[in-house]
Amino acid sequence: MTDDTAARWRHIEIVLDRSGSMHPITAQTEAGLRAFLEAQREVPGRTTVTLYQFDDVGELVFSNVELAEVPEIRLQPRAATALFDAIGDTIERARNLVLALPKPERPEEIITVILTDGAENSSHRYDAPRLRAWIEDLQAKKRKWVFVLLGAGSYVTRLAGMLGIRQETTIHYDHDLSQTALSTAGEMVRRGSRSGRYGFTDEDRTATRH
C-alpha cells in the first residue's frame, strides 16, 4: 500500500428508510447493513460513515464516524416516507462537511447510499426538481460524488430519473431481499472505490430479484 493510498479518505452517507412497511424486513435490513459495511473494510485508506434514518421525520443516528468505530445499527420502523426531505438533508450535510475543510483535506469521494421500500409521500421541505439540480451538479464535479439508489419496487427507475441519479447505480430489489440488496450494494461500492467505475452488473440485478 502506498502512502497516497493509505491517506485516501472516502465518506459514505447511508440514508435508510424506517417507515412502517419496513417492519417485516427489519432483521434482513440490519444484516444487510452489516454486510455492506464489512465489504468496505477491504478498501484501502480511511472510510467514514454517517447514518440518517427517516420516516415522516429524520434522525441523524451518527455522523462522520470512522468505519472501525461504527456502532451496531438498529432499525425501528414506523410512520410514513419523507424520502425527499431525507435526501435533501443528507446532501446539505455532506456538502457542509466538504466545504468546512481546506481543499487538500477534503474526502476524495462522497458516496450516498439510499435504501427505500416505498414511494415519497410526506416530504414538505424538498421536492424532486430541487434535488435533481443538486445531484446533477454534484455528479458533474471533479471531486467524485456517487449516488446509489436501492428501491423495493419498479417505481425506482422512474424515481432515479426524477432525482438525476444514474441508472447504473440504481437497483430494483424485491421487498424481502433487502439484505441481498445491501450486500450487493456493498460489493458494488467496494469495486467502484477500487476501480473508479461504479455500477451494478447484470448478475447483481438478478441476485436481488426472485
3-26, pLDDT tens digit by residue?
455 579 999 999 999 999 999 999
pTM as predicted: 0.95
- Per-residue confidence band for 118, with pLDDT thresholds at 50, 70 and 90: confident
Among 209, 210, 188, which Cα is nearest to 198's? 188
pLDDT (tens digit per residue) in 99-117: 999 999 999 999 999 999 9
Average pLDDT of span 178-192:
98
Task: Tell me how far apart the alpha carbons of residues 98 and 110 are, in angstroms, rounded to a whole number.
Answer: 9
At 6 the pLDDT is 56
Average pLDDT of span 152-158:
92
At 101 the pLDDT is 95
- Per-residue confidence band for 154, with pLDDT thresholds at 50, 70 and 90: confident
At 2 the pLDDT is 43
Instruction: Using the structure block, give the residue that is written with the C-alpha cell 440488496.
Output: 181
Question: Does pLDDT of 141 surpass 50?
Answer: yes
pLDDT (tens digit per residue) in 38-85: 999 999 999 999 999 999 999 999 999 999 999 999 999 999 999 999
Query: Could you tell me the sign of the dihedral formed by the alpha carbons of 117, 120, 126, 127, in that order?
Result: positive
- Per-residue confidence band for 1, with pLDDT thresholds at 50, 70 and 90: very low
At 5 the pLDDT is 57
pLDDT (tens digit per residue) in 87-101: 999 999 999 999 999
170-172, strands of its sheet edge to edge: 58-66, 46-54, 9-17, 109-116, 144-151, 170-172
- Per-residue confidence band for 142, with pLDDT thresholds at 50, 70 and 90: confident
Task: Tell me how far apart the alpha carbons of residues 204 and 125 are, in angstroms, rounded to a whole number.
Answer: 34
At 4 the pLDDT is 56
